[in-house]
Amino acid sequence: MERVLLAPPEPPLLPWEHELPEPCVLHPEEVDTYPWAEGDALPASLIARIDAWEDVLAEEDGPEAPNYQSDLSIPPGWRVGGFPSWASTGPLAVDCASCAAPMRLLLTAAGEETDADSHSWVPLEDRDPSLRGKASVRGGASIVRPTRLRFGRDRALHVFVCPDNPGHPARWVLS
């Protein structure tokens, strides 16, 4: 005899609200990402050029000036592929435990879809077109943390896979 659920199961009682995801709709977008500009992720000469460019922009635009890390290289939020953000840890080498090959980022899960340093990744529909910069962002928790999830202490969860052998165990890093 086949059993059919007559009502959806109730979620268990959880001590923290962030442990239960908020149902939401996925709107995938293709976005180019670029390596973190720290350590040896980019050549030192390029990092120096980025720093000089940011200094000029900061003089011209003040605190609303865009910067490479927050506005151009790696978007906040959930992503498939691309480059990891290393905001909390600094760049890390993530090698396969089975064969020592450098691992590739498969997935990033983050509790926030925007970050405090940036406004450039906020969707147009979540902006007030009459305002500029960070003041243009409207909404609140539902915009910043639409899933209600947290990883560690508001970190990003990166899942890495072995490019040489998909059967090797994945590794994850909180950063």
Predicted local distance difference test score (pLDDT) of residue 49: 96
Q: Which helix (H) or strand (E) holds 109?
A: strand 104-110
Question: Are 89 and 123 a contacting pair, CB within 8 Å?
Answer: no
Q: What are the boundaries of each domain within the chain? A: 33-73
| Rounded average pLDDT over 30-53 | 91
Three-class DSSP category at 102: strand
- Band (12; pLDDT cuts 50, 70, 90): low
- Band (80; pLDDT cuts 50, 70, 90): very high
| Rounded average pLDDT over 42-65 | 92
Q: Which helix (H) or strand (E) holds 49?
A: helix 44-61
Q: What percent of the chain has a predicted confidence (pLDDT) above 90?
A: 34
Confidence check: pLDDT of 172 > 90: yes
Question: Are 57 and 65 a contacting pair, CB within 8 Å?
Answer: yes
**pTM listed for this prediction:** 0.77
- Residue 76: C-alpha distances to residues 26, 38, 61, 127, 153 (Å): 15, 17, 23, 17, 15
pLDDT of 96-147, one tens digit each? Answer: 999 999 999 999 998 888 766 667 787 778 888 888 777 777 776 567 777 7
